[in-house]
Chain A
């Protein structure tokens, strides 16, 4: 089936996620959709698969204009999407997951479904135990199951959103083989990725998005440099940060490995110095967050050691991390950082170390008024935090950080903030660095990383590059690494 998206536009608030994006996918081809964080890839394919409604533009299937309002509409039009995080039912068995979503009335014919599942598995050489509980499967196996399920629903257009993150090499080989087989059977496939290698191996042609717009199209094979230029295509922002780095090490990591259900993060040895800012770049979900959480004491490393200012912290509790002056600023402020329903003053009281039983509200009020003045928060002491704007929530979070602050870990420190707030926030942070605070932060804004970091680590699929001084970074090198070509990684070499 030939799929055409014409002039699709979609806004979220004041963000133009898609700005008149057009895409044509011929039947029997694999079409890559390339772009960095926030380029608008996911929005575009979610419009096609009915998860998001477009503001304007048209969707044409085999030349006919169609309306796709829900995921069910999309399935009825033979369009299926494989999400980055599998949308399945972990407590159910493989077979039950396979059956869920099939249309039908009355009783389930399990035998027939089982035969269909077996047939499809054999066809693509997928090895699934049909009675295993989905929760016990690897991400790659869950993907295979989802693909088979979509195919059994008669899907002829398959969308894959970053399918190669978190799966093993052999699963990737099997996945790519299946994709090529499907294309040869006449299905059209849209492959969303930021990995140059995968795109070059699999796709027939690509469309590159940047900041919600189409930046170019190319036939594969195509030189890396061309694709990188399309993806990032600009001068990197010049570094703005003054020198604050001292010679003493602040954070020392040794042979760290962090396992989560989605991803295994492998880090070798890493040392961050007092007053240093390290920016963590890479596509979201490549392991940056795991590193930050682990350094904050909120996620345990499976192996390895962590030391802060020379003190062994590997097996310490989270409260010990707080006592050592380690602060963490989560990206989702109202979910992980602040408590809705409580005022600024309540938060200040919660963070005030006190031996007494009763809250001294007068004293707390004084502190709160002071914090509001110092951090320029637009709110009153009794303003509930959920009524503050994003920028003021971030200022409140900054006001609540422990003093003295030895290590600060931040996710997207300025996401959703206006320019003025961004500058103000970084001014405060750099002032902290001058007093010896070490900062690790992740951001999907490359300019922010270039401007404010001393060194940059690039993440891709749970692997991390060596820290690189910003002065040594070029757009091309950064683009290569974000695109998954990490030349040398922090991963400890395998002991033979």
Chain B
């Protein structure tokens, strides 16, 4: 059966490629030239490759977190807000301590506080979901707006730059508070290490621990897992908290390693991209590395499209979305083709 799903997946990816090719032809470009441009956009120079890595780190963090919520059967669309709130709390920590503590300590503190902020924001969505009976999709989306609004308020209000408040964000932090990078590039080894550690932790927890097993049980059948004696509410809230924590750390990294200040929309849509990655990966945590790498390469590579071919860089989003849709479609089709093996014989004959 798993084999059949695998063939369906292969077929769906083939179909997705056909569909993407068709779109490229419709917009009047040649597929080989698009591939060449994107390839050189992602891997042409050391600087470009470094940007792929810089995008990869937060993407891995968020996708790892989302595996927890997906395993628990939750659609944590609030991940964007969790990134943003992590970034806000992280910025707060830097502002409060940068004059009194040594830079290395400030950085560590900022990353930790980012995680704390994200955890709180994730838990808030979870509490609204579990106790307030608000579907996590709505509570998450609502909190995204709140976090974005809060960031805007801070940037234009209390934390505004000397003289002019602007969309470009708060005052840049001194260079001593930037995460060190590989040479002169955008990629930070520390950010990458943290992200890979998150993937490893995710793999270990989901595969090897009682917590991971219970999370799977809760995600598959809430009622039965409760009857089996699993504390389902605690499991659900933990999934929200862990996902929020990882996303918050990603937010802190956006502040420390990428923008060096708080800007509006600090997540740059990476949370939503991570949702696509997590959906594509399904529950196979192993695939997270290649898929996330491929997606961030697409994102960075597509920036070359307007320069070389006069095409919109949003083509990357089209490719990513198409892939995810077709793969989900394959799962759905294979599911519905599988004959329902049980006849409803429970009641009323």
User: Which A residues form the contact surface with B (CB < 8 A)?
Assistant: 10, 12-13, 15, 17, 38, 40, 42-43, 46, 84, 284, 298, 318-319, 322, 328, 330-332, 334-342, 346-347, 349-351, 354, 356-359, 386, 400, 416
Which residues, 196 to 245 on B, are CB-close (under 8 Å) to A? Answer: 208-211, 213-214, 216-217, 220-221, 223-231
**Complex CA–CA separation, A367 to B284 (angstroms):** 26
Q: Is the CB of A336 within 8 A of B213?
A: no
New contact pairs (11) apart from A338-B221, A339-B220, A342-B220, CB-CB < 8 Å: A10-B349, A38-B349, A43-B349, A318-B226, A330-B227, A336-B223, A337-B224, A358-B208, A358-B210, A359-B210, A400-B228
Q: Out of A319, A340, A386, A416, name the residue touching B231 (CB < 8 Å).
A: A319
Q: Which of B214, B225, B227 has the most CB of A within 10 A?
A: B227
Q: Which of A322, A328, A342 has the most CB of B within 10 A?
A: A342
Q: Known: A13-B343, A336-B223. Is A359-B349 also a contact (CB below 8 A)? A: no
Q: Is the CB of A350 within 8 A of B213?
A: yes
The yes or no answer to B342 lying at the interface (CB within 8 A) is: yes
CB distance from B219 to the nearest CB of A (A): 8
**Complex CA–CA separation, A352 to B321 (angstroms):** 42
Q: Is the CB of B220 within 8 A of A322?
A: no
Q: Known: A43-B349, A46-B348, A359-B208. Is A342-B216 also a contact (CB below 8 A)? A: yes
Q: Is the CB of B214 within 8 A of A350?
A: yes
The yes or no answer to B339 lying at the interface (CB within 8 A) is: no
CB distance from B216 to the nearest CB of A (A): 6
7 nearest CB pairs, A to B = A17-B349, A42-B348, A341-B220, A43-B349, A339-B221, A339-B217, A322-B229
Q: Known: A13-B345, A322-B229. Is A342-B223 also a contact (CB below 8 A)? A: no
The yes or no answer to B3 lying at the interface (CB within 8 A) is: no
Q: Which of A43, A336, A386, A400 has the most CB of B within 10 A?
A: A336
The yes or no answer to B133 lying at the interface (CB within 8 A) is: no
Q: Is the CB of B343 within 8 A of A335?
A: no
Which residues, 296 to 349 on B, are CB-close (under 8 Å) to A? Answer: 341-343, 345-349
Chain A residues in 8 Å Cβ range of B211: 357
CB distance from B316 to the nearest CB of A (A): 33
Q: Is the CB of B349 within 8 A of A298?
A: no
Chain A residues in 8 Å Cβ range of B221: 335, 338-341
**Complex CA–CA separation, A264 to B144 (angstroms):** 44
Q: Out of B213, B224, B349, name the residue touching A12 (CB < 8 Å).
A: B349
Chain B residues in 8 Å Cβ range of A354: 210
CB distance from B83 to the nearest CB of A (A): 28
CB distance from A359 to the nearest CB of B (A): 6
Chain B residues in 8 Å Cβ range of A15: 345, 349
A-B CB contact pairs (8 Å), 23 listed: A12-B349, A15-B345, A17-B349, A38-B349, A43-B348, A284-B347, A322-B229, A330-B227, A332-B346, A334-B224, A335-B221, A346-B213, A347-B228, A350-B213, A350-B217, A350-B225, A351-B228, A351-B229, A359-B209, A359-B210, A359-B213, A386-B341, A416-B345
Q: Is the CB of B345 within 8 A of A336?
A: no
Q: Is the CB of B220 within 8 A of A340?
A: yes
Question: What residue in chain B is nearest A390 (Cβ atoms)?
Answer: B342
CB distance from B74 to the nearest CB of A (A): 16
**Complex CA–CA separation, A17 to B209 (angstroms):** 47
Chain A residues in 8 Å Cβ range of B343: 12-13
Chain A residues in 8 Å Cβ range of B216: 339, 341-342, 346
Total A-B pairs, Cβ < 8 A: 88
Question: What residue in chain B is nearest A364 (Cβ atoms)?
Answer: B213
**Complex CA–CA separation, A46 to B344 (angstroms):** 15
Question: What residue in chain A is nearest B224 (Cβ atoms)?
Answer: A339
Chain B residues in 8 Å Cβ range of A337: 224, 227-228
CB distance from A147 to the nearest CB of B (A): 20
User: Which B residues form the contact surface with A (CB < 8 A)?
Assistant: 208-211, 213-214, 216-217, 220-221, 223-231, 341-343, 345-349
**Complex CA–CA separation, A225 to B346 (angstroms):** 30
Chain B residues in 8 Å Cβ range of A350: 210, 213-214, 217, 225, 228-230
Chain A residues in 8 Å Cβ range of B345: 12-13, 15, 416
Q: Is the CB of B225 within 8 A of A339?
A: yes
**Complex CA–CA separation, A447 to B25 (angstroms):** 72
Question: What residue in chain A is nearest B229 (Cβ atoms)?
Answer: A322
**Complex CA–CA separation, A359 to B217 (angstroms):** 14
Q: Is the CB of B349 within 8 A of A357?
A: no
Q: Out of B227, B347, B349, name the residue touching A328 (CB < 8 Å).
A: B227
**Complex CA–CA separation, A42 to B349 (angstroms):** 5
Chain B residues in 8 Å Cβ range of A339: 216-217, 220-221, 224-225, 228
CB distance from A332 to the nearest CB of B (A): 6
**Complex CA–CA separation, A359 to B205 (angstroms):** 10
Q: Out of A12, A318, A346, name the residue touching B217 (CB < 8 Å).
A: A346
Q: Is the CB of A338 within 8 A of B209?
A: no
CB distance from B271 to the nearest CB of A (A): 27
CB distance from B332 to the nearest CB of A (A): 16
Q: Which of A298, A322, A339, A386 has the most CB of B within 10 A?
A: A339
Chain A residues in 8 Å Cβ range of B349: 10, 12, 15, 17, 38, 40, 42-43
**Complex CA–CA separation, A351 to B210 (angstroms):** 10
**Complex CA–CA separation, A84 to B348 (angstroms):** 10
**Complex CA–CA separation, A342 to B346 (angstroms):** 23
Chain B residues in 8 Å Cβ range of A332: 346
CB distance from A8 to the nearest CB of B (A): 13
Q: Which of B210, B216, B220, B231 has the most CB of A within 10 A?
A: B210
Question: What residue in chain B is nearest A52 (Cβ atoms)?
Answer: B349
Q: Out of B225, B229, B347, B348, name the residue touching A319 (CB < 8 Å).
A: B229
**Complex CA–CA separation, A23 to B214 (angstroms):** 53
Question: What residue in chain B is nearest A83 (Cβ atoms)?
Answer: B348
Q: Out of B224, B229, B347, B348, name the residue touching A338 (CB < 8 Å).
A: B224
**Complex CA–CA separation, A350 to B218 (angstroms):** 11
CB distance from A419 to the nearest CB of B (A): 18
Q: Which of A15, A38, A338 has the most CB of B within 10 A?
A: A338
CB distance from B217 to the nearest CB of A (A): 5
Question: What residue in chain A is nearest B221 (Cβ atoms)?
Answer: A339
**Complex CA–CA separation, A43 to B347 (angstroms):** 10
Q: Is the CB of A342 within 8 A of B217?
A: yes
Chain B residues in 8 Å Cβ range of A334: 224, 342
Question: What residue in chain A is nearest B225 (Cβ atoms)?
Answer: A339
Q: Which of B224, B226, B230, B342 has the most CB of A within 10 A?
A: B224
Chain A residues in 8 Å Cβ range of B225: 339, 350
Chain A residues in 8 Å Cβ range of B213: 342, 346, 349-350, 359
**Complex CA–CA separation, A346 to B210 (angstroms):** 10
Chain A residues in 8 Å Cβ range of B223: 335-336
**Complex CA–CA separation, A84 to B228 (angstroms):** 31
Question: What residue in chain A is nearest B231 (Cβ atoms)?
Answer: A319
Chain B residues in 8 Å Cβ range of A12: 343, 345, 349
Question: What residue in chain A is nearest B205 (Cβ atoms)?
Answer: A357
Chain B residues in 8 Å Cβ range of A13: 343, 345
Chain B residues in 8 Å Cβ range of A298: 227
Chain A residues in 8 Å Cβ range of B230: 350
Q: Known: A338-B224, A339-B225. Is A331-B217 also a contact (CB below 8 A)? A: no
CB distance from A99 to the nearest CB of B (A): 28
**Complex CA–CA separation, A366 to B217 (angstroms):** 21
CB distance from B46 to the nearest CB of A (A): 41
